[in-house]
Structure 1
Amino acid sequence: MAEVEKKARTVTGKVVSDKMDKSITVVVERSVAHPLYGKYVRRSTKMHAHDETNDARMGDTVTIQETRPLSKTKTWKLVEIVERAKEV
């Protein structure tokens, strides 16, 4: 019987830190309905991702993909830079 490959999760977020070597911190925001009142509330999650080429910069919008654990906190890798941050 052939093995069926699972498609890895991908999420889009904003880079909030690029100070580490070959690593970035990405904030992913999502909207969740409040259980009692029904109002949508913004929730965010910080994820550490592997950036092999040190290409992503702070403020960039990026797509990251789930991967095997690369360190204690890194389980995501950079797939693409969707939008560059505006230079000031």
Structure 2
Amino acid sequence: MSAELRTPHKKTLVGSVLTSGKMDKTVVVSIERLAKHPFYGKYVKRNVKYTAHDEKNECGSGDKVLIVETRPLSRTKRWRVKEILEKAK
């Protein structure tokens, strides 16, 4: 057997910050995806909101961020902000 260490593959998502500054070290990130309607076949937008941990309180509303899955940090937080891809103008 090899003593090779494996790192678990964690989910990463790219989304935009909806609210910032309302909660300490927490931001709400909206993830938008396209899903095909089961009957009509048209692609429709679907949104999911996740609360993510922002350790340095550096995210602002409208920023594009990369979030990564992590252990449960609170009742609703299971995601952590890994990096800010684009600051809002």
* TM-score category (smaller protein): over 0.9
Number of residues of Structure 1 aligned to a counterpart in Structure 2: 86
Question: What is the RMSD computed on CA atoms of the aligned residues?
Answer: 1.1
TM normalised by structure 1 equals: 0.92
**What secondary structure sits across from 1:74 in the alignment?**
coil
- Map of 1:36 onto structure 2: 39
| Distance in structure 2 (CA, Å) of the matches to 1:72 and 1:20 | 14
Aligned equivalent of 1:13, options 12, 15, 19: 15
TM normalised by structure 2 equals: 0.91
Q: Which ranges of structure 2 fall in alignment gaps of 5 or more residues?
A: none
> Identity of paired residues, percent?
50
Q: Which ranges of structure 1 fall in alignment gaps of 5 or more residues?
A: none
Question: What is the CA distance between 1:25 and its match in structure 2?
Answer: 0.3
| Distance in structure 2 (CA, Å) of the matches to 1:3 and 1:54 | 33
